[in-house]
Amino acid sequence: MTPDPQQGDPDTTYTIADDEETAAREYERLRVLARWKDPGTIDALRAVGISEGWRCLEVGAGAGTISAWMAQTVGATGSVLSTDVDLRFHGDPVGNTEVREHDITSDPLPDASFDLVHARAVLQHIAEREAVLDGLLAVLRPGGWLVVEEADMRSFEAQPLPEPLSSLHAAMCMAAAHQEYRDPNFGTRVLGLLRERGMADLEATGHTETMRGGEDSAEWWFLAVEHVRDRLVDAGVISAADFDAALAQARAPGFVMLGPLSIQVRGRKQ
């Protein structure tokens, strides 16, 4: 099987290896991703009216940048619970923030406690995604908002690219498709799942952005690709020379490619 960008058991988990080089790369990748994605996430959170005094839950906090923004927005009378299964990459807490190592598939949270729950690119990596979604709804108070951001990767996977980048991209997409725990197109299902669960004021927004060589819009992906360079080469999927040439193509100034379709869905618990 082609290796997954993440370094755990490829069929069951989403984890990052413990070696120093991989951890440092993931630390940088999450911050690159935050610089690129946080403005759109903040717009979505503002759209539901986040304000002083709100109690917020951030699931899969990563670098913790959205948790920090939430804490600044809700002020001293509000609170933020910032959770992730791996806290190595989380920044220092801001304001009234609790940072908690937490597995959303198994660890409990208090029912009906939060005004806002947010998760970005989390559920696609969890086999129990619908049960987790039910759990997120359970921890919302009546009238509270859920904001979920997930992708549909099909156009991203299908786009034509020059060689050898095309072969590397195809190998990475094939690896993602064979991860039994993962649904890279889960973004298309979220709205319907929330409708079935009786959420009110549902709204979905989708957009695709340009990924540009040498910029945050593309570097988040190619840092992930770098995680598996040695594994791809050792497996004979691609030669070392072609791998390095493909990343050089992708990182060249002026290079552009189509980014994944990102779908934001928000709804209010009745």
Using one digit for the tens of pLDDT, what is the confidence trace for 55-93?
999 999 999 999 999 999 999 999 999 999 999 999 999
CA dihedral 263, 266, 267, 269 (to 10 degrees): 120
Residue 191 lies in a domain: yes
Average pLDDT for the chain: 93
- Whole-number percent of the chain with pLDDT over 90: 87
User: Is residue 83 exposed (0-12), middle (13-18) or buried (19+ Cβ within 10 Å)?
Assistant: buried
What pairing do the DSSP bridges indicate for beta strands 114-120 and 55-59?
Answer: parallel
Q: Which residues constitute the domain of residue 25? A: 20-152+181-209+260-268
Closest CA relative to residue 55, chosen from 77, 72, 78, 36: 78
- pLDDT score of 105: 96
The total domain count for the chain is: 1
Q: Assess contact for 151 and 121: CB atoms under 8 A.
A: yes
Confidence of residue 174 (pLDDT cuts 50, 70, 90): confident
Residue 130: both structure tokens together: 């619908």
Question: Quick check: is 10 in a domain?
Answer: no
Convert the pLDDT of each residue in 13-36 to its tens digit. 456 777 889 999 999 999 999 999
> Model pTM?
0.92
Question: Is residue 101 situated within a structural domain?
Answer: yes
Q: Is residue 4 part of a domain?
A: no
Query: Average pLDDT in the 159-171 region?
Result: 96
The reported pLDDT for the residue numbered 6 is: 45
Is the model's pLDDT at 186 over the cut of 90? Answer: yes
Q: What is d(CA 74, CA 146) in angstroms, rounded to the nearest whole number?
A: 16
CB 207 within 8 A of CB 261: yes
**Residue 242 forms part of a structural domain:** no
What is the rounded average pLDDT of the residues 101-128? 96
Position 177 scores a pLDDT of 67
pLDDT digits (tens, 9 = 90+) for 209-264: 999 999 999 999 999 999 999 999 999 999 999 999 999 999 999 999 999 999 99
- 179 falls in which pLDDT band (50, 70, 90)? confident
Beta bridge partners of 101: 84
User: Does the residue 145 lie in any domain?
Assistant: yes
In a domain, residue 55? The reply is yes
| Residue 34: predicted pLDDT | 97
Whether the CA torsion 186, 192, 197, 203 is positive or negative: it is: positive
Residue at token pair 């009238």: 143
CATH number of the domain encompassing residue 61: 3.40.50.150
Considering the domain boundaries, does residue 192 fall inside one? Answer: yes
Where is 99: in which H helix or E strand? strand 97-101
